[in-house]
Amino acid sequence: MPLQLSQKEKLLLQDQQSQEEICIQKYSSYAQQATDPKLKQLFNSYAQQEQTHYDTVSQILQGTVPSMQQGQQQQGGQGMGGSMGMGTGMGMSQSHFGLSQGGGDDQALCQDMLMTEKHVSGAYDTAIFECQDTNVRQALNHIQKEEQQHGEGVFNYMKEKGWYQPQ
């Protein structure tokens, strides 16, 4: 039996899908702007995982709950060639995010992504609590955990560079 989503669930999932699209765009753009090769690699890796999140939310919206097995992360390695493609984006450029082109400011890129991950993770929290289906909750919880890992990765990078010093 196909998954039946309430109108509220659909709207929340569509919001998450839009946020995942923005995360893909930001991480991809910021990977190009970053000057540190380690940061470029981190952002590229996260962009691929965000594509997997986007694809998972899309499948749920289409009525299918994907299995959240260990191989799920490996699937994300297909990068931007997935169903979304950067051509279908929201017309956002690097300058849209208030950052100049060129070498970029790695610290500003990190600060923006940490703030973005905090927001996205919190939005998943709301979506999880509004879902009726246990399997959908589990899939969204899996995504949220990865979003938190992205935030932790950016946080640790910033802390290592001396850019983030919790008091």
Domain total for the chain? 1
Q: Is residue 44 part of a domain?
A: yes
Is residue 118 classed exposed, middle or buried when 0-12, 13-18 and 19+ CB atoms within 10 A define those classes?
middle
Q: Is residue 74 part of a domain?
A: no
- pLDDT tens for the chain, 167 residues: list them: 678 999 999 999 999 999 999 999 999 999 999 999 999 999 999 999 999 999 999 999 999 988 765 444 433 333 333 333 333 333 444 444 444 444 459 999 999 999 999 999 999 999 999 999 999 999 999 999 999 999 999 999 999 999 988 77
Q: Is residue 1 part of a domain?
A: no
Q: Is residue 98 part of a domain?
A: no
Q: Is residue 71 part of a domain?
A: no
Q: Is residue 167 part of a domain?
A: no
Q: Has this prediction a pTM greater than 0.95? A: no
- CATH code for the domain of 149: 1.20.1260.10
- How many other CB atoms are there within 10 angstroms of residue 78's CB atom? 13
Residue 117, C-beta contacts closer than 8 angstroms, at least 6 positions apart = 23, 147, 148, 150, 151, 154
DSSP the chain: ------HHHHHHHHHHHHHHHHHHHHHHHHHHH-SSHHHHHHHHHHHHHHHHHHHHHHHHHTT------TTHHHHGGGGGGSSS-GGGS-S--GGGGT--SSS--HHHHHHHHHHHHHHHHHHHHHHHHH---HHHHHHHHHHHHHHHHHHHHHHHHHHHHTS----
Task: Tell me which residue range forms the domain holding 125.
Answer: 7-63+104-160
Q: Is residue 145 part of a domain?
A: yes
Q: Is residue 165 part of a domain?
A: no
